[in-house]
Chains A and B, each alone.
Chain A
Amino acid sequence: MEAALELKGLNKSFGATRAIEDLDLVIPYGATYGLIGPSGAGKTTAIRMIMSILFPDSGTLRVLDRGSALEAKDRIGYLPEERGVYRKMRVDAFLLYMGRLKGGTRAAVEARAKALLTRLGLADALKKKCEDLSKGMLQRVQFVAAIINEPELLILDEPFSGLDPVSVRLLKELIAEEQQRGATIIFSTHVMSHAEELCQQIVMIHKGRKVLDAPMAGLRRQYDARTICFEPLDRTADLMSLKELPGIERVRLTDEGCDIALAPDTDPAAAMRAVVAAIAPARIELARVRLEDVFVRLVSGDGASSESQHALRKALRGSDVEGEIA
């Protein structure tokens, strides 16, 4: 399959700061890629270069088989991280303007705007001025503006930040529909759980460099979990005694039971059998791989101090508390 997006050796600096360093990336048509990394990693700069809003200092890029996004703007949908609307403009006029700028006909844009807003519970907002809408409603309108032209390439920069859980669910449904329609989706976030849920492929960026480009399924296999979540049948059982078992490195008590960390090179199956033999379980499972853990291991290595790992996790979660809530 031909690539919807191809970046080769992309570099971008702002003064002395290198925002992007030798970025190579190939995204096939129809794929959903998650671009993850802490705030300031270079995700938005990379996206702005893809959109030809910024231009690279060196390197080449092809977007939808064209030399730049400028030649394919009508086929791209973009929801920037810093969202904005014409506050005095009516919602229908704003969506019509954006749709027509992207080459849509008046009738087609109006029909799609109405249908999408109705799906998002905003049918009544069509004739309202943008300034009369709440922040959450505005974000949904902006999402509609991004997909109004049924784009072949949809770029979403932190699409869920600031949204309530109901809106997040509605937007996820619409993104899934765009996937089914065949759109290529690039999804930038620092909220790892969203990327885990929606993306087939994960690209991790740290300090402007790509540190990982792998399929989500492969990540689960490659970065096997080394933590067993255990809940005993007998709530009074001595869980700390499990620490004496071979291959068990650490036991941390939780509300339901405990998390058991395995030593390197320990076979998880053998360890689970040993735990079950020692204390009868109500529930026992291997913890699923978390992108945050993968990122921390990739960037800081296994031997990093817990302080530096903690700092990295904090950066990953970012200051965007709303993102965490979402």
Chain B
Amino acid sequence: MIRRIALIVRREFLATVTSKGFILGVLMMPLLLLMVVLLAPRIMDAHGPEVRGTVAVIDADGRVLPELRVTLHPDEIAARRMEDARRQAAIRREIAERTGRLDQIEPKEPKIKPSPVLTIVERPANTDLDTAKAALIGTNGEPEHLALVVIHDDVTVRRDTEHEYGTYDLYVSKSLSGDTESVLQESLQQALVAARLKRSDLIPSEIEAKTRVQRPNAILVTASGERETQRWLTAALPFIAGLLLFMGVIAGGQTLMTSTVEEKSSRVVEVLLAAAAPLELMWGKLIAQLGVGLLIVGVYVGSGVLSLVQFSMFGLLDPTLIGYLVVFYLLAYLVYGALMLAIGAAVNQIADAQSLLGPVMILLLIPYALTPMIGQAPNAPLSVVASFIPPINLFAMLARVASDAPPPAWQVGVTMLIGVGTALLTVWFAAKVFRIGLLMHGKPPNVRTLIRWVRMA
């Protein structure tokens, strides 16, 4: 019996994972995401071609231009970029230190992109705006300037106390890249602030020091010790865990249903039943698609873990959560997979399956949709009750264990026991329907007919 089940598992698994649809539809997406995660920092770090050009500036106020000459200088831009990079590296280092991943600490100075070399061309305040703009189009499609900055005459002084400070207008040529525009805007902003502070006799560094307050991560104090919370991650984890559970169950269950319908409609099922018992066939199919689902979940979890490692944040993930995910996936898959297998055996073509599939999909979508809310309020009465009502209990409990306020261990145990009971019941039901339905052709059955089959078998 085991030998035959193993043979069926092997065939079903390989037939699914080697199909073009599976490779393209299921595996390519996480692989592409993984590639983006791994390559994006390298692409962003890569040195692009050096940007050189001129920026025309009309300074109606007259105090901004000297400051802009400083803030737009390539050395100053490089200094700002270096400061940013160091700040980000410090955050990563801090996380790596706190999560014990010392090997992730970057030892060397961060790399920065070369600064654009932007030369300022001063234009008098009375310059005709249209003529100045024409220089951005240029002759023969080659613009004379990359950008035109028109600084208003009220940028450093307010007309009255009720009005804001004035600003500037920025006109750009099509040759100006988004990245260089961003540098220009940043330099302008700093130049404007510096000019305003100077006019008010204030010292910029003093103001910055006085207004900066570092926001620490909250420290969660528990009986097992103290650990730093990462609210963004704990908020996202219940949703991510629910999504993975949903995806795994849908992928495995859907393939179970369609492959059974195909075997039935192509009449190969009777040939198979001559070589294997219905139960062997059913378990072979269930286990094979369980493997397929685990592969999918594994690929997504693996991509997630690699991404966390890439950003030196792996230590923030509690490994027992992956264990819970696997256990809850197994139980949820058996419940929903068995139901979808029974539907596949009961109908003759996919179109007939829709009426039976509807209730199952609702039972699958409701708990999935609830997971973010349960994750936000893991110990609310509704969340606790939901973790004991099959079949939504598995989704609800996974969302709770993934939250930052996990439930007591006994509740997890009870949910698992209910999950095992539900899985046994649905597999028993599916086995009955499978045995009768496989050789039934003709009018597709309704739920009442399925119950009659279960009594017959």
Which positions in A face B, CB cutoff 8 Å? 48, 51-54, 70, 73, 76, 78, 80, 82-89, 97-98, 100-103, 142, 145
Q: How far is the CB of A73 from chain B (nearest CB, A)?
A: 6
Residue on B nearest A85 in the bound complex, by CB: B268
With A53-B439, A73-B274 already in contact, the answer to whether A101 and B266 are too (CB < 8 A) is no
How many of chain B's residues have a CB under 8 angstroms from any CB in A? 21
Residue on B nearest A69 in the bound complex, by CB: B274
Asked whether any CB of chain A lies closer than 8 Å to the CB of B4, the reply is yes
Would you call B274 and A51 a contact (CB within 8 A)? yes
Cα separation A150 to B70 with both chains bound (whole Å): 92
What are some 15 contacts across the A-B interface (CB < 8 A)? A48-B439, A51-B273, A53-B439, A70-B277, A78-B274, A83-B271, A84-B268, A84-B269, A84-B270, A85-B268, A85-B271, A86-B15, A87-B266, A101-B7, A103-B3
Q: Which residues of A sit under 8 angstroms from B267, Cβ to Cβ?
A: 80, 82-84
Cα separation A228 to B271 with both chains bound (whole Å): 46
Q: Which residues of B sit under 8 angstroms from A73, Cβ to Cβ?
A: 274-277
Q: Which residues of A sit under 8 angstroms from B7, Cβ to Cβ?
A: 97, 100-101
Asked whether any CB of chain A lies closer than 8 Å to the CB of B11, the reply is yes
Q: Which residues of B sit under 8 angstroms from A82, Cβ to Cβ?
A: 267, 270
Cα separation A259 to B238 with both chains bound (whole Å): 88
Q: How far is the CB of B446 from chain A (nearest CB, A)?
A: 16
With A54-B439, A85-B266 already in contact, the answer to whether A80 and B275 are too (CB < 8 A) is no
Residue among A53, A73, A103 with the most chain B CB within 10 A? Answer: A53
Residue on B nearest A76 in the bound complex, by CB: B274
Which positions in B face A, CB cutoff 8 Å? 3-4, 7-8, 11, 15, 263, 266-278, 439
Cα separation A97 to B3 with both chains bound (whole Å): 12
Cα separation A167 to B368 with both chains bound (whole Å): 56
Q: How far is the CB of A188 from chain B (nearest CB, A)?
A: 14
Q: How far is the CB of B269 from chain A (nearest CB, A)?
A: 7
Would you call A53 and B274 a contact (CB within 8 A)? yes
Cα separation A31 to B292 with both chains bound (whole Å): 46
Residue on A nearest B276 in the bound complex, by CB: A101
Would you call B273 and A98 a contact (CB within 8 A)? no
Q: A73-B277, A102-B275 are in contact. List 15 more A-B contacts (CB 8 A).
A: A48-B439, A51-B274, A53-B273, A53-B274, A53-B278, A70-B277, A73-B276, A76-B274, A80-B267, A83-B267, A85-B266, A86-B268, A98-B271, A101-B275, A101-B276
Cα separation A70 to B274 with both chains bound (whole Å): 9
Would you call B439 and A52 a contact (CB within 8 A)? no
Residue on A nearest B11 in the bound complex, by CB: A97
